Amino acid sequence: MGSSRHGRRVSKRGLSGRKPDNRHAVFALFGTSCARGMNGPLPLGTQRAGRYEIMKPVGGGGMGDVFVVFDPVRRRELALKVLKFSYPRALHYFKREFRAIARLHHRNLVTLYDLHNEDGRYFYTMELIEGVDLYVHINESNAIYEDPKILALPKRQARIRAAFVQLLRGLAYMHAHGCIHRDLKPSNVMVDKNGVTKILDFGIVKELLPGSEGQSLSQVFGTATYMSPEQSQGSRVTTATDVYAAGVVLYELLAGVPPFDGEPQLVMGLHRNTKPPSLVQRVPGIDPQLALVCMYLLEKDPAERPSAREALEMLGEEMDVELAVELEFVGRRQARKVLHEALEAVRGGHGRTVVLEGPSGSGKSALAKAFCAEARIFEAVQFSGVCVHRDHVAARGLDTIVERIAEAWRRSTAEALRALPAIDRAATMTTFPFLSELLPKSYHVGMDEHPPGGPYAAAGLAALLTELCRKRLLVIVLEHLHLADDVTLELLEHLLKPAFTPPILFLITVRPEAIVPDSRVSQFMDQIDHSPNAQRLPLLPLLPDETRRLIQTHLPLSTPAQADQLHAESGGDPLFLTSLLQAMLRDPSAPVPRVDALVQQTVARLDGFARTVLHVVSAGRYALPGSVLQGASMLAADVMYEALDRLDSEDLVRTFANAEGEVTVSPVHARLMELVRRNVSTEELNQVHSRLAQAYEAAGGPAAAIAHHWALAGEPGRAPGFALKAAEEARLAGHDGRAADLLGLVVNTPPAGTDELDLREKHIDALARAGRFVEAAASIDRLLSGQRPPREDQRPGGDGHFHLLRAEMRLLAGQYSAFILEEPSLPLGPARARLAELLVPMDPSRAEALLQNLDTPHASLVRALLAVDIDATGRFAVRATKLWREATLQTHDLRLAVFVRASMLRAEGQFADARAVVDEGLSRLADAEKDPAHVRLRLLRTELALDLGDLNGARQRVRALNAESRLRGLPLLWVQICRLSALVHLESGEHQAAERRLLEADAAWPKEPLTLPVVHVALARARHAFVSSGAAQGAAALRRLEEYAPYQRLLQRRGPANETALLHARIAAVRTAERWRSRDVVGLPSAREALQERLRLLRLVAPPPIGWLEVLTAVSELAGGQPAAVVERLERFVSRPGEPCVRAAAAHVLSVARTDPQERQADALKAANMLRDVGAAPSPEAVALGAVAR
């Protein structure tokens, strides 16, 4: 008789009878709930997790809950597993589970699709299995059978054998790819309605890692009933651990109960010390072959157990797919030499980065693995991570490395984290949450204030790695850079900078053909090219002698002729050479195989749908968007994605998807696709190209791809007509980049009857609107140097229209030197006012010269802006106001009118009024966000936030502009943002971060010819020296700046003059305070006299910095023995609204002047609160007076 089973997974059918109320748990997991006042369940199908529509719950495990969802991209139901714990270690295991298994494709392993993070909720999608667990499948019910007659039924034995053979195949595949399950049991094995066995629930999967890479921190994982002897002792688990668990599962299926039962500790002891009861005695009549294999699998000594593949052979079965035999690494002499030279540099204390480049199968991973093995001779320690496709978690790949380091060196990592500046530590732990587990919660302050990545996280990571490798030789391997996310790339970019490179060896692998042009990966590779500590290492085909050595190593009886034939057939490509060698190892007596024959065998195994998709991918040659592939293959979405799963499992294509579900399909190897195309008829290939061109048109794809496929389809004339129409649609929709690309297709060979000049102008305009100013200038160059230069006097800008437009493009692109060379030949005309406007923040004198003889509203507004900038004594106001009023009566250029008016108010010290003008202007210009002038207004708004002491607002605005400036193609904007960001960091006491941003500013803008941005950055550096290193360093930096003759002209402009005067006065105040505090009666009078002179000069600037004048005058009075005057001066000022940083400095000075201890303490507390509210640090003046601790 059968009895009910307790504690086991029940069938999906059994779970479907849960109470409807449980559906609330689904929605609660994703931060949603019932509407206020409603008690019933929300309707099914109305809630989402990311792009997935949640249908119903189906079960769960120790780490996560599982739901049925509908994927609108794949157009089919999937299972979604959501992490139900929020602590870092749970997330660590959850990510490791996905990343270890998502790369595996086998019919007996559940397929994992995408890992997501939505609003702090982590989940991944996987294949939905319509079936029951292994025990239910074997017994055809949810009951336990112990009757030997029932257990020995032939049909039952046949089901056990069929299911267990598949289980062994899945395990063998896992083990061959370096993964161990560690928790194999009947409830983690499902059998679908077609009888296919699926291993699932890899929550504690372990990867077989080389060297010292961290894993489990000596924790015991698994379920006691199925735990091997070594696993229960916390010893190193191996593939033999899974084999033992498979033996326990088989024993339970054959005998009805596991070999040992009882309390966990008792069961683990029995597994270690007691031989299992004989199966043939317990269940007479069972399959003796199964019983024998089971007892071999349950050997106590792991070395005595057969592998999963050997167990299959003992049962007379074979693998359903060929498992690759790991070959000994041979060759790559030159590449290994380069890597060892880099390692030697690291041993000398210098950081090095080497990027291994090559197509799939070129041996990048094998070379990295072999080199790391050799590096262990020098006691080098390796940590590796892989950027996994369909992984949408920040810092993917890099987070794996950091977590493995933390596991291996827990105490050292914690100590290094404690030593970081608080802001760097918080950002680093936000980016790598696992690190927060190493420190008490008191160190977690500020984590909520940072998104993943950013300069603070980069600085923290660099300092962490530098500290950890102080006594260790460290090699970090990051694979598949072409799949890296923006956070990973941002961190790597910072680590590449010489000032921040830790003394470690970075090995990075990448597929160059998978890099999208102008992407973040492409930008990173450009940085590699310009970094003194980094290099690319392309992996070329193996040389003939390397091929001979490889063949001789693995086939000692082979002849030189066979080796030469293999080299010729493979072309020295390691991917094909390995495939050919594997085939020869399977049958050494067979003739040398051909690559095309192996490819044909693979294609022949595919069904018709998979072949259709493969033909389209092969014709596409490069990565195809999913929508284009579906259109060209003419298949339903669910059918196409099933075909892609099959092609992925055969290592023919890779499917990538972003978090929004936008899918890209990429061929694994270009030559593979070439061999596939050879077996497709010309007629069919033409049809595929025609369908690809139409699919690209429908999807709004790249113009070059559309033209390419129409040409290969034999209809090249169809592309230009489409391009013209689509370009106009893109222009009207505001998609300027696409419009520029489409017009670029036809601009040199326009269709008959097209106005060539009008077409060229539209192309230039689209390029400019897309921020591609260098390309726009080059396009104008081609136009002006053509056989028929245009008549510029007939263009809207009048005579010289295109020359003036080219000059504008060059200024926007930051090509100031090229502009200077062109300037003397520029024609006169009203368009010069636009050039003058762009020149004002670069070189006002040159801007003024351009405006000669121009009398237009635009020119008047620029003159008003120059009047604001030129006069440092305040006499500008009347002239600027008059010009502005006259111009605004005649112009509709709101953007410039707003900018000039706000600049005038700022120059008068009316910061709040200026802010209101900018805010109003931005709201009215919301539809012109792509205009560089709109961004300039936002930059002015950020400067005003700093003027008003609104550090929090300035931080937020800098972050937004920081991200946007990368996309704008505006170097001047970038250098201004870097400078503003550095000033924010200085006010916040973040001196290292400020230094980093100033280094970026230096790199962003040329120092010659000299321009205002260079002077502004130099002044920011002098301020940095003063705040971070003291008055002496600040004064020296300022003196060098003023003594450099080329700077003197620009230092007289209002902005630099004001900044210089204030910095001089503050330096003099700190020197005075230091002498007063140290009771230097000799030096104090002269210091105070110097301060008073600097204050006199500061009162002459326009606008005078009233707040700082009050504070610095109070310092002078305090040093002169007038504390009562200080109290009278500052009491009212401290209570005024605005300028919190200056008022905090005043409160600190006031606290020193007080004689009453309670009043002194109250003032100091008031200053501390003001600084805390805006996230600012105490001023150098306050520190010098001793008002705050140093």
Per the CB < 8 A criterion, the answer to whether 814 and 841 are in contact is no
Among 823, 792, 824, which residue's Cα sits nearest to residue 808? 823
| Residues 6 or more apart whose Cβ sits within 8 Å of residue 914 | 902, 903, 905, 906, 940, 944
Handedness of CA 621, 627, 628, 633 (dihedral sign): positive
875: which strand partners? none
Return d(Cα 948, Cα 851) in angstroms, integer: 33
197: which strand partners? 191
Among 685, 679, 723, 668, which residue's Cα sits nearest to residue 701? 723
Phi-psi region of 656 (alpha: psi -120 to 50; beta: other; left: phi over 0): beta
| Residues 6 or more apart whose Cβ sits within 8 Å of residue 341 | none
Return d(Cα 395, Cα 619) in angstroms, integer: 34
- DSSP β-ladder status, 473-479 and 505-510: parallel
Return d(Cα 1129, Cα 1113) in angstroms, integer: 9
SS3 content of the chain, % helix, strand, coil (to 5): 60, 10, 30
386: which strand partners? 479
Per the CB < 8 A criterion, the answer to whether 114 and 657 are in contact is yes
In the structure encoding, which two tokens stand for residue 1165, read together? Answer: 């507390």
A 10 A CB-CB count for 684 gives 11
In the structure encoding, which two tokens stand for residue 254, read together? Answer: 């054959």
Per the CB < 8 A criterion, the answer to whether 567 and 561 are in contact is no
The label of the residue with tokens 């699998």 reads 297
Among 1053, 1133, 1148, 1063, which residue's Cα sits nearest to residue 1097? 1063
922: which strand partners? none
Q: How big is the chain, counted in residues?
A: 1190
Catalytic-role residue among 114, 183, 242, 871: 183
Per the CB < 8 A criterion, the answer to whether 53 and 72 are in contact is yes
- Is 1163 catalytic? The answer is no
Handedness of CA 303, 305, 307, 309 (dihedral sign): positive
In the structure encoding, which two tokens stand for residue 1177, read together? Answer: 């640090």
Return d(Cα 1128, Cα 1121) in angstroms, integer: 14
Helix ranges (DSSP H) in 840-931: 844-850, 857-870, 876-888, 894-907, 911-924
Amino acid at 1052: Q
Return d(Cα 478, Cα 465) in angstroms, integer: 15
Separation in Å, CA 1137 to CA 690, 950, 1099: 69, 12, 22
Per the CB < 8 A criterion, the answer to whether 94 and 86 are in contact is no
A 10 A CB-CB count for 1137 gives 7
Helix ranges (DSSP H) in 187-320: 229-232, 239-255, 264-273, 279-282, 288-297, 308-314
Strands (E) located in 278-387: 352-357, 380-386
Amino acid at 742: L
Per the CB < 8 A criterion, the answer to whether 416 and 461 are in contact is no
Using DSSP, how many helices (H) and how many strands (E) does the chain show? 56, 21
| DSSP-derived 3-state class of residue 457 | helix
List the catalytic residues: 183
